[in-house]
Structure formats: structure tokens, C-alpha cells
Amino acid sequence: MNMHMTGATGGQPDIRHDWTSAEARALYDMPFNDLLFRAHLVHRAMFDPNTIQRSQLLSIKTGGCPEDCGYCSQSAHHKTGLKASKMIEVERVLAEARKARDAGSTRYCMGAAWRAPKDRDMDAIVAMVEGVKALGLESCMTLGMLTPQDTLRLKEAGLDYYNHNIDTSERHYDKVITTRTFADRLDTLANVREAGIKVCCGGIVGMGEEAIDRVDMLVTLANLPEHPESVPVNLLIPVEGTPLQNEGEIDPIDFVRTIALARILMPASDVRLSAGRTAMSAEMQALCFFAGANSIFAGETLLTKDNPGEDQDAALFRRLGLKSQQQTSNAAQI
């Protein structure tokens, strides 16, 4: 088996940007043990396999979104019963961020149900980024589409990461979302990269897509000029009232294969086991960690939906002998 490792005795896996769909599909379809072994070798060469990075989410502006993403509880196009609310106060965001830090998260991710931020929102957004940084946390925002001007403003504020998912393959995209295109997503990602902000970009598994859609989504990410530093792999949380309310049933083995392929295609990236962990067994999560996931969302709530809380994750980490990544920032622990 060609491991694509440089150096005579293993060394670091190659960081490639020229994956073909067929090559990636062949990896995805390997016997499960071979795929897992290969992904785990890459994982061990790049990361401590027993350390997991924890990010915590907060919805800073919930619901009433003009986009029609078929999976989302927050789209104004669907009747999900979610109440739309205004952007929350900066002080409240920072109080929540402090709690997340004290519970062991190293990154704070703030999400807004917007197609794109408006100019009038930017002062508060900048204050949130600055405040989160001052707490010694890494900052992440997910606000929809950004112009080059927006990204420069966020970079100046000190934003570390911007999350903007491609969600699925280009082929499957318009079966899920019609109010924006796959190309729109790539444009914003290019603006984020251009401004020097780290990219967090992944997608959702279990939206009725074929295996080749999962493969091609990851190939698109791996063939970007630079790999996203962070790759969230979400399992669809079926939300009543959305067009995808009856999806989400996927063979857990196929989900693990997706994680393994993400690890092999993007060896140096954080692969985050993201939404949907409440529906996963401890064994499935353990397989995902073995296959190369090295990051999770921590805390009881994602943006609007449940996530395993502190106690459950502490028990899982104990059973698996996992530890949380420690904060590396020197910022004052205020």
C-alpha cells in the first residue's frame, strides 16, 4: 500500500492538492480495517491521537434567516417553530465565552442566521471578537457571505477562524439549497483566505446524498489552494418542519469512512466530529476518533440543537483515555 509518506521511514504524510475523485473514492471504498489503519497512521504522524480540541458554539443571532438551507432550523422558509431573535448583547456573549473557557474549550465560535452581515452589525461583531480574544480564547465567526471589505475588518479585529461550510458536493448542492450557489460559498472562502483568516469548512453527512457526494465534497476541500485548517463533519440533525426532516439515517460505518477520508486527504487539518453526536453511540464516536477526528463541539447546545453536555463528554473521555487540548494563548486569564 502506498502511504504517500515522505522520507524513508514513514515521516510526514504528503499534503496534496491534486486528488482525483476516483482516487478518493477508491480510498473510501477500501475494506474498513484497511481504511481505518491508513487514516490512523496519518493521524498519528500529525497529531497526538489522545488529545481532542474543544470548541464551543453560541448563536448570536437566531432564526429568521432568508436562506433556504434544507437542513436548517433557522431558515424563514421552513416552519420549524423556532422564534427569531435579534443579535444578542456583546456582554452576554463574553459572559458565555468565559464559562466555555472555564469548562475547557479553547475556541469560541459565534454564529448568526444571516445571508451576510450588514454594515451596521460590524461594530458589535468586532467587539465580540476582541472580547473573546482578551479571554485567551481563539475566536471563530460564522455569519454567511463576506466581501473582501468584511474579511479585512474581521482580520483587523483579530479573528482567528471563519466557518463557512460547502455542506455537500457541487452535484448535490441545489437539492439542499437554492438561494445561493456552491460558487458563492467558494468566493467567500477565497475572501477569508485572502485576508489571512484561518478557514473552517466542512459539511453535512446524511442529507440523502450518495457516497460519491461525500467523497467529492472532501475532494473539493482538499484541492483548494490551501486546506481548511478546520474541517467540521456534521451528521444531519433532522429538524421537524424542514425539507430534510425525514433524512439523517445513514450507516454509521459510512459516517466513519467519511471521517477517515477527511483525515487522509487533509492530514494537517483539525477534523471535527461536529453536529449529531447526541445520536451517536460511544462506540461510533470512538471509531471516529480512531479514524482521525481530533476535535469536537463541547457544551449542551450547538446553535439551536442539543449536544452531549459536559458530564457525558467527561465520561466518554474517561472511558477512552482522551484528554482535552489545553489553551496555548498567553492572553490574560481574566
What, of ligand SAM, ligand SF4, ligand DTB, none, does residue 287 touch, CB below 5 to 8 Å by kind? Answer: none
Q: Hey, how many other C-beta atoms are within 10 angstroms of the C-beta on 9? A: 5
Q: Is 109 designated active site?
A: yes
Q: Is 201 designated active site?
A: no
- Residue from 140, 193, 277, 288 carrying the catalytic annotation: 140
Q: Please compute Rg for the chain using Cα positions.
A: 19
Q: Tell which one of 53, 56, 75, 142 touches ligand SAM (CB under 6 A).
A: 142
Which one, of 54, 36, 41, 57, lies nearest residue 295 by Cα? 54
How many residues contact ligand SAM, by CB under 6 A? Answer: 17
Measure the CA–CA gap between 248 and 280, rounded to whole angstroms.
Answer: 12
Three-state DSSP at 57 gives strand
**Which one of 49-57, 68-76, 86-94, 245-253 is the stretch in contact with ligand SF4 (CB under 6 A)?**
68-76
Identify whether the C-beta of residue 320 lies closer than 8 Å to the C-beta of residue 296.
Answer: no
Closest approach of ligand SF4 to the CB of residue 181, in Å: 13
Q: Tell which one of 43, 61, 78, 164 touches ligand SAM (CB under 6 A).
A: 164
Q: Compose the 139-178 pattern: x for residues touching ligand SF4 by CB under 6 A, - for all others.
A: -----x----------------------------------
Distant-in-sequence, close-in-space partners of 244: CB < 8 Å, separation ≥ 6: 70, 71, 176, 207, 208, 236, 238
Q: Hey, how many other C-beta atoms are within 10 angstroms of the C-beta on 102? A: 10
Tell me if 165 contacts ligand DTB by CB under 6 A.
yes
Closest approach of ligand SF4 to the CB of residue 66, in Å: 7
What, of ligand DTB, ligand SF4, ligand SAM, none, does residue 75 touch, CB below 5 to 8 Å by kind? Answer: ligand SF4
Grid cell of 118 as nine digits: 450588514
Closest approach of ligand SF4 to the CB of residue 169, in Å: 17
Tell me if 71 contacts ligand SAM by CB under 6 A.
yes
Three-state DSSP at 225 gives coil
Tell me if 165 contacts ligand SAM by CB under 6 A.
yes
Helix spans in the chain (H): 21-28, 32-46, 90-102, 122-134, 148-157, 170-173, 182-194, 211-222, 252-265, 282-291, 310-320
Strand partners, 11: none
Grid cell of 228 as nine digits: 481548511
Tell me if 137 contacts ligand DTB by CB under 6 A.
no
Measure the CA–CA gap between 71 and 274, rounded to whole angstroms.
Answer: 15
Closest approach of ligand SAM to the CB of residue 303, in Å: 5
Q: Is 140 designated active site?
A: yes
- Count of positions (residues) in the chain: 334
Identify whether the C-beta of residue 233 lies closer than 8 Å to the C-beta of residue 272.
Answer: yes
Q: Tell which one of 138, 150, 167, 247 touches ligand SAM (CB under 6 A).
A: 167
10 Å CB burial of residue 141 (0-12, 13-18, 19+) is buried
Distance, first Cα to last Cα, the chain: 51
Three-state DSSP at 39 gives helix
- Residue from 54, 101, 107, 109 carrying the catalytic annotation: 109
Nearer of residues 301 and 327 to ligand DTB, judged by Cβ: 301
Tell me if 239 contacts ligand SAM by CB under 6 A.
yes
Tell me if 302 contacts ligand DTB by CB under 6 A.
yes
Binding positions for ligand SF4, 89-118, rule CB under 6 A: 113
Q: Which parts of this chain interact with ligand DTB (CB under 6 A)? A: 57, 73, 109, 111, 142, 163, 165, 202, 232, 234, 237, 274-275, 302-305
Q: Which parts of this chain interact with ligand SF4 (CB under 6 A)? A: 65, 67, 69, 72, 74-75, 113, 144
Active-site residue numbers? 65, 69, 72, 109, 140, 200, 272
